[in-house]
Amino acid sequence: MDWLESAAFSLLVVAGCSRDPAGRLGLANLTCEMAQRGCGSRDSRQFVSDLELLGADTSASVSTVHCSYGGAMPAESLLETLAIYADLVRRPHLPPDQLDDARQVCIQEIRAIEDELAQKAFLELRRLQYGDPFGRSSPGTIEGVESVSEADLARFFADTYRPNGAILSVAGKFDWRRLLDHAGRLLADWIAGDAPPWQDTPAAERVVHLPQESSQTHIGIGYASIPYSHPDYYEARAAIGVLSDGMSSRLFTEVRENRGLCYAVQASCHSLRDRGSVLCYAGTTTERAQETLEVVLAELIRLGRGIAQDELDRLKAKLKSSLIMQQESSPSRSYSIAADWYHLGRVQTVDEVRAIIDGLSCDRINAYLESHPPRDFRLVTLGEKPLELPVGIS
Amino acid sequence: MEFRKETLDNGLEVIAECAPNAYSAALGFFVKTGSRDESDANHGVSHFLEHMAFKGTATRSTADVNRELDEIGSHSNAFTSEEQTVYFAAFLPEYHDRALELLSDILRPALRQADFDTEKLVILEEIAKYEDTPPFGAHEKCMAAHFGTHPLGRSVQGTAESVGRLTRGQMMDYFRQRYSPRNIVLVAAGNVDFARLVSGAQQYCGGWEPFDVRRETPRAGAHRSLEVFHQPVAVQQYVIQITNGPALEDEDRYAGRLLATVLGDDSGSRMFWELVDSGLAESASMGACEYQGAGILMTHLACAPEDTADNFARLQEILAEAEADGLTEAELTQAKSKIRSYIVLQSERPVNRLFAVGGNWIARRQYRTVRETIASYERVTCDDVAAVLRKYPVTVNTTVAVGPLRDADQILAATGGNESESGILNRQY
């Protein structure tokens, strides 16, 4: 992407919250916080100030599978920034005298979610959809974070910050050969570890109501779908696009425009490596929540009956625009190639994805919907009153 | 990159930053109107009208507008602030003509009664959503307390009561008083053909009737008070402080922004190290906002209720220390580096340039390249920041706290300050 002045990277290690041991929920998140408190020759303050002087706009987050570090910066700062992050994943100080501060930071994060009701409802929906450990929320629990010891942290780091399964992606303006040499010097002698298999337990409940004093009711609806790596993924994604992408989408039209039921309503595809789901959210005032739930469910059922050509045409225009505009942003391209590598084991070029979008047809999408109609819904409501699932819908 | 400008006979200005090699283009109508141009009687009308623009025109229904915006694959939206209402779309260059025609058309909305009634429900849902979301209205309450009867004291969304009372007639009156081509700028960025843009603007907007529009821009006086609003539903305590700062026509606004970055950026700032990195608070940050004739520095603190008094005292120490001693060279250098990188990264997307170019033009009728903007930050010295701190003492501020706490004493317990100096009020809702 030589037309840009920037470069961006994503560095993923298989150190997500699905690796949290029982009784230590939140350990992955705490390790991520601690890893950023000094590494290599830098202490905590030096780490932050060096990155800021390099102009690196950085981020760190923990998902169920990965801990992801990333940054975007002026192109000339890329190699130096990568050297700092190689230190972070290989030689963090994990300073014992900062463990309590870091623990407090993580507890603040858990407390903050208590006030973010839409997010709280959504996290509960993910738990229902994926069970344990893939439906976990990365901040974990206050008890879990409080019980983490120095030894827990050291063990978690030693077990999970390893090159097997780790992904480094770079996009933007850079010289491939120099980058490769540099990454080789930084990471080639990183020693692989063991990755034990996950123990997968589905959630017992399908419907959950979280009582909450609030003027709004938050509704989450989920159902199983196919993962990103599935050959029909783009058919599944297009169907959800018709449901939710853009102002002429079915949910926006029926829930917001025609009925004025809520301000925010949306559905999206979510994917793990071996399974996927569709997750929907609507937030509305309590007295209108039952009607909102019924309208959203009716739209999900109707989607199973197929989509129309004009809906697909609009969606294609939107998907193609987004794809091309991704070329204007090194961080968004870097993120997407890391995701491709994890899910597919290879990177799809922009031209390849464009050809897939062009090739989408109503017939194939409708055939997909016929064999995979939205059903077996999971439901989370958060608000003053529980809602009723309409008759005939499970 | 080339800057171009043209004015139509009816006063509509058309400006563009053309980047012929860009992948996408972005267009926006920047209307110089917002909540500061409202009255108590039509509070919330600017934002409601922005929603109504998407509900149809003389020749298009709501469904037509939504469908056509999606047909061109655009990323389109609109937003309203205290001083601007912006309608914009980012799209691939081949859709330029359709995007321009469509955006121009929605700037003359039909404002049909049935659409007005349905959309009012959506706005009321939006207000309910914000009242339920952190910081539970603390931002609006603090602006109201700080600005009092100054036009900037009025919130952008309005209240459930004020929006509930609004009539279609009031909205039409407001439209007829504010949406003059003399009060609107058509802005473009990215891969746009300027001659084509101007001829399209002439065709679609040339017939808009011009009239004069005024705005009052009084300076805001310094203000000091503390109000506590009890919100039992909240788990965390939210505290917002506003102090006066440089206005958007002031040259010292760059120094003001650097000051806010050093004291309260999300990472690496004094507030970050003292309160966030230590885990004492969920967040503590400061940002600068500039308006016409007035500016503010706004500080946010979120933390557990039982830690609020101690954290609030630490925050006041940070402000007092900055006011007494200013910043160090090293801090200023680091802040400049951060801001420079942020501006460069942002400028890679035409839609971001649209907001930078349009916002600057509507505020100051001035075009600045990325390089010129960066140079303005680079020139700032520690003395310039010290001058801002003398002109706008950060310890003179308006405070609003929302959350489980009930009394001002619970906020002030650790400051050792003289409470009688503050206009202390306790409120419950």
B337-362 residue pLDDT tens: 999 999 999 898 999 999 999 999 99
Query: Using alpha carbons only, what angle is made at residue A261 by residues A302 and B428, rounded to the nearest 5 degrees?
Result: 150
In a domain, B172, yes or no: yes
Minimum CA–CA partner of A384 in chain B: B233
Q: Are residues B234 and B147 in the same domain?
A: no
CB atoms near residue A27 (< 10 Å): 27
How confident is the prediction for chain A on average, in pLDDT?
95
Query: How high is the pLDDT of residue B426?
Result: 46
In this prediction the ipTM stands at: 0.90
Q: Which of B125, B136, B233 has its CB closest to that of A213?
A: B233
Contact yes or no for A103 and B131 at CB 8 A: no
Q: How far does B126 lie from chain A, in Å, by closest CA?
A: 5
Cβ atoms of A141 and A26 closer than 8 Å: yes
For residue B31 the two structure tokens come to 């209307």
Q: Tell me the pLDDT of chain B averaged across its residues.
A: 94
Question: What is the number of residues in chain A?
Answer: 394
Which residues of chain B have a CB within 8 Å of the CB of A314? 67, 70-71, 73
Instruction: For chain A, list the domains and their CATH numbers.
Output: 6-187 (3.30.830.10), 207-383 (3.30.830.10)
> Are B166 and B275 found together in one domain?
no
Selection from B330, B316, B300, B314 nearest residue B393 by Cα: B316
A27, A85 contact by CB (below 8 A): no
d(CA A118, CA A131): 20
Residues in chain A closer than 8 A to B62 (CB atoms)? 257
Active-site residue, selected from the candidate residues B13, B38, B50, B119: B50
Three-state SS at B296: strand
The yes-or-no verdict on residue B429 having pLDDT over 70 is: no
Q: Are residues B73 and B172 in the same domain?
A: yes
* Interface membership of A330 toward B (CB under 8 Å): yes
Residue A270 burial class via C-beta count within 10 angstroms: exposed 0-12, middle 13-18, buried 19 and up: middle
pLDDT tens, position by position, A51-89: 999 999 999 999 999 999 999 999 999 999 999 999 999
Comparing CA positions, the residue from B118, B115, B107, B89 lying closest to residue B27 is: B89
* A positions 341-370 inside 8 Å of B (CB): none
Contact A111 B23 (CB under 8 A): no
- CA distance linking residue A199 with residue A131, whole number of Å: 11
Query: Mean pLDDT throughout B250-256?
Result: 97
The closest of B176, B249, B168 to B210, measured between CA atoms, is: B176
Pair B341, B417 in one domain: yes
**Domain hosting residue B294, numbered range:** 225-428
Does A52 sit within 8 Å of B268, measured CB to CB?
yes
Distance from CA of B329 to the nearest CA of A (A): 13
Question: Between chain A and chain B, how many beta carbons pairs sit less than 8 Å apart?
Answer: 178
pLDDT of the residue at B420: 43
Closest approach of chain A CAs to the CA of B222, in angstroms? Answer: 32
| Residue B50 falls in the annotated catalytic set | yes
* CA neighbor of B254 nearest in space, from B379, B399, B390: B379
Q: Which of residues 295-314 of A touch B (CB under 8 A)?
A: 313-314
Q: Specify whether the backbone of B237 is left (phi greater than 0), alpha (psi in -120 to 50) or beta.
A: beta
Q: What's the predicted TM-score (pTM) here?
A: 0.92
CA distance A51 to chain B (A): 9
- Determine contact, residues A135/A211, Cβ cutoff 8 Å: no
For residues B274 and B189, state if they share a domain.
no
- Would you say residue A121 has pLDDT above 80? yes
In chain A, the N- to C-terminal Cα span, in Å, equals 48
For residue B277, what is the domain's CATH number? 3.30.830.10
State mean pLDDT over B56-71. Answer: 95
3-state SS assignment for residue A65: coil
For chain B, how many structural domains are there in total?
Answer: 2
User: Are B122 and B251 members of one domain?
Assistant: no
3-state secondary structure of B406: coil
